[in-house]
Structure 1
Amino acid sequence: MAEPGHAGPGPARPPVRPPVRPPLTARHARLTAAVLLALAAVVTSAVSLDVSLTAFTEGAEDVGNLIDRMLPARLDEPGRIVDLAVETLLIAVLGTVLATVLSVPLAFLAARNTGPGRLVRTGARGVITFCRAVPDLVFAVLLVRAMGIGVLPGVLALGLHSVGMLGKVFAEAIEDSDPGPREAARATGAGRLQELAAGVLPQVVPAWISLFVYRIDINLRTSVVLGFVGAGGIGFALQDALRGLVYDRALGIVVVILVIIAGMELLSIGLRRLLLTRPVAGRAAGATAPRDTVRVTAPWSRERIARFGSAALLAAVTVHGLFALEIDPREVFTSLDDIADMAGRMLPPDFTAVGGALTTALLETLAIGVVATAAGVVLSIPLGLLAAHPVAPHPLVYWGARATILGVRAIPELVLAIVFVAAIGLGPLAGAAALAVGSVGFLGKLVADAAEEIDPGPLEAVRAVGGGWWQRLSTAVVPQVVPSLVGSSLYLLDVNIRASTVLGIVGAGGVGFLLFEAVRTLNFAFAGGIVLLVFVVVIVVERCSGWLRRQVR
C-alpha cells in the first residue's frame, strides 16, 4: 500500500507547503483600514457630485466650439504683454524669496527633530497651516483693500501663502535627514546653531533648492490669478480677454505664460541634475593632489559652482525686481495698521450669514477636493514615473511626459474651470474636473522628482540579475517612491480643497462663491468664518498626512 502522500514507486515528493505570507500586524491593519476609508470617501464624494461620463461626452461639442474660438492664438500689444509677463515673473520670484526667508526658521521650529519644544513646534506648525489654509486670492483681496492696487500686495500674498507649502516640505525634509552628521557635530562640542548648520543644512539644501524652483513656477500661475483682483502682473490682461470673450487673445497670453514656465522647468531640470550628481570617489576628495598637500577649502566642483552661481543670479534678480517694480519694503511696516484693521474685521468669525447653505457648500468643497485628488493621483502616477530618468524607457517618452506635465501646469486652474463650466455647466462637477486636470501638473512633477531621487543601488541590482523594465519599476522604484507619493497625495488633497474655494468665483461649485461674495459685500466676519472652517479641514488633513507618512516610512 502506498504511503500517504506517495502515489506509487519512486522517490517521495516533498510535501506541498502553503505560500508564506507576512504576518498581519497592527500597522498593516491600520493601513488597510485607511485605504478602505479613502476608497469609501472617493465613492461617496463621486456619488454626491453625480460624476458620470455622459456629462463630459454631452459637453464635448461645447468644448470643441470653445477651442475653435481660441484658435489660432493671437497676441495683441506684444510689448505690453511682455512687460506684464516680466512683471509677473518678478512678482513670483520676490514672493517665493519672501516665503523662503520666512519658511526656513519656521521649518526648523516645526520639525520634530529640531524644534526646541512641543509648544513651539505646535505654534510653528499652526502658523504654517494657517498660511496654507487661507487661499492666496483671499490674501490678495484683503491686502489690496488694505494697501491699495499694486504689485506689493501680490508679492505679500504669494509670500504668505507659499509659507504654507515651503514651511511644510522644508520641515519634512529636516525630519527625513540622517541624524548621524548632526550627532557627529554635537560630539565635537558644536553649539545648537553650528550643529544645525553643519549636520542638517548640507543634507536638505539640494531638496530645498528644487522645491524653491518648483514653488516659483507654482507662483507664476498663481500670480496670473492674482491679477484678477488688482495685485499686478499679466492676470489683468488675461481677465480682460476672458471678460470680453476674446478667447484667441486669452490663449495667446496663456502661451506666453507657458514659455516662461518652460524656461523655469528647464532651469529646474538643470539644477536638479547638477545637485543630484554624485562626485566620483577620490577625484572630488582631491585624490590626485600630492600627499603632503592639505586642502583647507572645499573644491570648486560643478555642484558648488552651480549653487553659488544660482545664489548670485537670484540675489541679482531680487534686487532688480525691487527696483523695477518700484517696491519700497518700508511700505509693509507703514501699512501694518491698515493690515491689522482689515484682519481684525474678520474676528470674531460669523457662521450664521447663510444658515445651512454654508454646511452644504463646505461638504461640496470637500467632495470636489476628494474626487479631484483621486482622479489626479490615477492620472499622475504613470505620467510622473515616465517623466523620471531612471524609469523612462526612451528619451522620447521622457520628454513627452515632461512636456505634458509642463503644458498642464502652465494653465491656471481658474482658466481650466472656465473651460469645464462652458462644457459641463455651472456646478461642482466642473470644478472637480478642472482640479483633476490641474493635479496632473502638480503631482506629476512631484512623482517624477521623487523617482529621480531614489537610491540607484536597488535599481542597478535588479538590472544586474537581468530584470526587465517592469521588474525594475515594481521592485526597485515604486517601493522607494511610495512614502513620498503618500505625503504628496495628501498634500494635493488640501491644495485642491483650498483651490476649490477659489474656483467658486467662476461658478465651479464649493464654498468659494460664498467666500468671495462675503469679501465683495464687505462681510468680513462671515469670510473669517469660512476661512476658519477651511483651516480646520486643512489641520485634519495635515494630521492624516503625518500619520500615514510615519506608517509607510
Structure 2
Amino acid sequence: MSVVLDPPQRRPVTRDERARTPRPWVLRLLSLLAAAAVLASAVHLEFAPATLLDGLDDIARLLDRMLPPRLDDPARISTLALETLLMAVLGTVLATVASVPLAFLAARNTTPHPAVYAVARAIITFCRAMPDLLIAALLVRGLGIGVLPGVLALALHSIGMLGKLFADAIEQTDPGPREAVRATGAGPLRELVNAVLPQVVPAWIGAFVYRVDINLRMSVVLGFVGAGGIGFALQDALRGLAYPRAMGIVAVILVIIAAMELLAIGIRRVLLAPKNSGPRRDRAARFALGGLVGGATLAALVVLEIDPLSLVTWVGPALEVFGRMVPPDFGALGTDLFDATVQTVAIGVLATGIGGVLSIPVGIVAASNVSPHPVLYWMARGWILLVRAVPELIVAVVFVAALGLGPIAGTCALAIGSVGFLGKLVADAVEEIDPGPLEAVAAVGGGWWKTVGAAVIPQAVPAIVGSWLYLLDVNIRTSTVLGIVGAGGIGYLLFESIRTLNFDVAGAIVLVVFVIVYLIERLSGWIRSLVV
C-alpha cells in the first residue's frame, strides 16, 4: 500500500500521463468483469440480502444483550491494554530494524545484484502474504503461549509492508546527490548514508507511524491464538457468553485505537511538514520521536518481560515447527481443500464488492471539500473511525453468534470493515481532487448532486479503483483466518490442522494461501497499471 504523506502538487498533465489515462471502454469492461465476479461469489456462497435482513433481529438482540458494557476487572484489562500497545510498538520497531537493510537489497538502484534483488523481494512478498494471526499460531506452537510469539508475528508480517514501502522510497530518490557523494571518492556505504537516507527518512517515518496504527489493531486479536494482548480476555468473555464484559473490553479497545489514531495524525503533521516548521524544528521533532520510540521499546522489553536474547534465539524453535510443514500433504483433505479455497476467494471478492459500493457515498460525505453539511461530515467520519477501530475478526464473532456458522458471517464482517477502510480512502481521494471542475459546475448553477456526478466522481475514479484493488488483496488475506471463529473459508481447516499438530497438512494450506494472495496481488497490480 502506498502511504500518501503530503497532498500532491497540482501541475499540468504531461503527454505521457495523458497516454496513460484509462480509456472509457477499459473501465466499462473491468466494471462488468468485477460485477460478474461479485455476482458469481454471491451465488456460490448462497448470499441473499433477504437472509441478512432476516438476521438483523438476531443481531439487534445480541447487541442488546451486550449492553450496558461492563468491566469486571479494570486493573487486569488496563494491564492487558498496555501490553497490547507495547506489543504493537515493539513489533513495529523490530520490523523497521529488519526492513532497512532488506529495503536497500530490494531496491533496484541500490541492490548489489539482480539475484539479491529477487530474493529480497520474495522475502518481502512472503511476509506480506502470510496473515499475522497464522504466523502467531505457528510461533505459539514453537515458543509457547505468551507475548513473544505475538510480537514476532507482528514484526514478521510488518516486514512485508515496511520493506516494500522502504524499497519503493529508495527507488524514487534523486540520483543527483549520490553522484555528488560518489565524486568525492566516498565508498558505497557512505554514499547510501549521506545521499539516500536524507531523502527517504520522511517517507520512512510516515510508514512507521502508520504501521504502528495498523499493528495496534492486529495485536488486539492475537490473544485468540494465545499470543498475548487484550484479545485473550475478549475471547474468554465471548466463550463464557459474558457479552456485557466483552462489550466493555471492546469499548476499551475503541478508546485505545482512537487515541492512537489521533496521536498518529499529530505526529505526521509535525514531522512531515518541514517546509512550514523549518529544518531546526524538524530535526528537534524527529529527535523527540526517536526518543519516544526508544523509550517505548525499552518499556516494552521490561513490561512484557522479554529477554532481548530471546529476540534471536526464537529462530531455532520456530524453524523446527516450520520444518515440520515440509513436505506439504495435499491429499489428506481431498476436495475439502479446494472447496475451502474457492469459498475463501468468494468471501473476499463479495465483501470487497459490497464494501466498495457502500463506501462511495460514505467517503464523499466524509470529504471536507464536498460534504453537504458539517453534521453529516462528522457523522461519516465518526462511522469510519468506529468501523476501522474494530478488527474484522471481532465483528465476525458477533455475526457468527447472530447468524450462525458459515461464510455469510465472514462476508458481512469483512464488508462492514471494508466500508470503513475504503470510506477513508475515498474521502482522502476526494479531498485531493482539483477544485477547478467543482467551481465550474457551481458557476453554471449545478447543485450538489450534479457536482458530485460531473466533477467529483470522474476525478476520483482512478484512486477509488486503486483502493478497491488494494482492499481485495487485504480481504483475501483476512478471509483466510476468519475460519478460526467459524466464519467460513480456509481458516477453519488451517487452524484445525495446527491445533491437531498435522503440520504437513498445515503446510499445504499455507502454500495454497500464499499462491492465492500472490496471484491476487499480481492481478491487482496489472489492473492498477491500466486504470491508475
- For Structure 1 versus Structure 2, the TM-score category normalised by the shorter chain is 0.7 to 0.9
Letter in 1 for 2:341: L
With the length of structure 2 as denominator, give the TM-score of the two structures.
0.86
Distance apart, 1:511 and its partner CA:
0.7
Structure 1 residues 356 and 383: alpha-carbon distance in aligned structure 2, compared to 1, 3 A threshold: same
Distance apart, 1:386 and its partner CA:
4.0
Structure 1 residues 545 and 509: alpha-carbon distance in aligned structure 2, compared to 1, 3 A threshold: same
User: Structure 1 stretch 371-380 or stretch 53-62: which is displaced more?
Assistant: 371-380
State whether residues 421 and 427 of structure 1, in contact with CA within 8 Å, keep that contact through their aligned partners in structure 2: yes
Of 30, 40, 44, the residue aligned with 2:40 is 44
**Which whole-Å CA distance do the structure 2 matches of 1:463 and 1:62 have between them?**
47
Unpaired runs of 5+ in structure 2? 1-17
For residues 312-323 of structure 1, the aligned pairs below 5 Å read 312-323=291-302
Distance apart, 1:500 and its partner CA:
1.4
State whether residues 217 and 391 of structure 2, in contact with CA within 8 Å, keep that contact through their aligned partners in structure 1: yes
Aligned residues: 509
**Which whole-Å CA distance do the structure 1 matches of 2:511 and 2:238 have between them?**
32
Paired position in structure 1 for 2:85: 89
Distance apart, 1:38 and its partner CA:
2.4
Paired position in structure 2 for 1:509: 488
Unpaired runs of 5+ in structure 1? 1-21, 285-297
* DSSP-derived class of the 1:404 partner: helix
Of 251, 256, 275, the residue aligned with 1:255 is 251
Paired position in structure 2 for 1:383: 362
Paired position in structure 1 for 2:6: none
Letter in 2 for 1:86: L
Are 1:353 and 2:332 counterparts? yes
Are 1:136 and 2:132 counterparts? yes
State whether residues 441 and 450 of structure 2, in contact with CA within 8 Å, keep that contact through their aligned partners in structure 1: no
Distance apart, 1:263 and its partner CA:
0.5
Structure 1 residues 373 and 102: alpha-carbon distance in aligned structure 2, compared to 1, 3 A threshold: farther
Structure 1 residues 157 and 220: alpha-carbon distance in aligned structure 2, compared to 1, 3 A threshold: same
Structure 1 residues 124 and 183: alpha-carbon distance in aligned structure 2, compared to 1, 3 A threshold: same
Letter in 1 for 2:496: E
> How high is the sequence identity, in percent, across the aligned residues?
62
Structure 1 residues 61 and 491: alpha-carbon distance in aligned structure 2, compared to 1, 3 A threshold: same
Distance apart, 1:504 and its partner CA:
0.6
Structure 1 residues 205 and 80: alpha-carbon distance in aligned structure 2, compared to 1, 3 A threshold: same
Structure 1 residues 492 and 249: alpha-carbon distance in aligned structure 2, compared to 1, 3 A threshold: same
Paired position in structure 1 for 2:275: 279
Distance apart, 1:64 and its partner CA:
1.4
**Which whole-Å CA distance do the structure 1 matches of 2:440 and 2:181 have between them?**
41
State whether residues 48 and 367 of structure 1, in contact with CA within 8 Å, keep that contact through their aligned partners in structure 2: yes
State whether residues 417 and 431 of structure 1, in contact with CA within 8 Å, keep that contact through their aligned partners in structure 2: yes
**Which whole-Å CA distance do the structure 2 matches of 1:32 and 1:521 have between them?**
48
**Which whole-Å CA distance do the structure 2 matches of 1:104 and 1:31 have between them?**
38
Paired position in structure 2 for 1:338: 317
**Which whole-Å CA distance do the structure 1 matches of 2:302 and 2:500 have between them?**
35
Distance apart, 1:129 and its partner CA:
1.8
Structure 1 residues 463 and 230: alpha-carbon distance in aligned structure 2, compared to 1, 3 A threshold: same
* DSSP-derived class of the 1:351 partner: coil
* DSSP-derived class of the 1:59 partner: helix
Structure 1 residues 388 and 165: alpha-carbon distance in aligned structure 2, compared to 1, 3 A threshold: farther
Structure 1 residues 274 and 226: alpha-carbon distance in aligned structure 2, compared to 1, 3 A threshold: same
Letter in 1 for 2:473: D
Letter in 2 for 1:62: D
Structure 1 residues 197 and 386: alpha-carbon distance in aligned structure 2, compared to 1, 3 A threshold: farther
Distance apart, 1:505 and its partner CA:
1.5
State whether residues 135 and 499 of structure 1, in contact with CA within 8 Å, keep that contact through their aligned partners in structure 2: yes
Are 1:110 and 2:106 counterparts? yes
* DSSP-derived class of the 1:300 partner: helix
User: Structure 1 stretch 422-431 or stretch 515-524: which is displaced more?
Assistant: 422-431
Larger Cα-atom Rg: 1
Structure 1 residues 89 and 133: alpha-carbon distance in aligned structure 2, compared to 1, 3 A threshold: same
Structure 1 residues 387 and 316: alpha-carbon distance in aligned structure 2, compared to 1, 3 A threshold: farther
For residues 32-71 of structure 1, the aligned pairs below 5 Å read 32-71=28-67
Paired position in structure 1 for 2:435: 459
**Which whole-Å CA distance do the structure 2 matches of 1:329 and 1:83 have between them?**
21
User: Structure 1 stretch 400-409 or stretch 303-312: which is displaced more?
Assistant: 303-312
Distance apart, 1:249 and its partner CA:
0.3
**Which whole-Å CA distance do the structure 1 matches of 2:430 and 2:191 have between them?**
30
Distance apart, 1:375 and its partner CA:
1.6
Are 1:307 and 2:286 counterparts? yes
Paired position in structure 1 for 2:380: 401
Distance apart, 1:163 and its partner CA:
1.8
**Which whole-Å CA distance do the structure 2 matches of 1:466 and 1:29 have between them?**
29
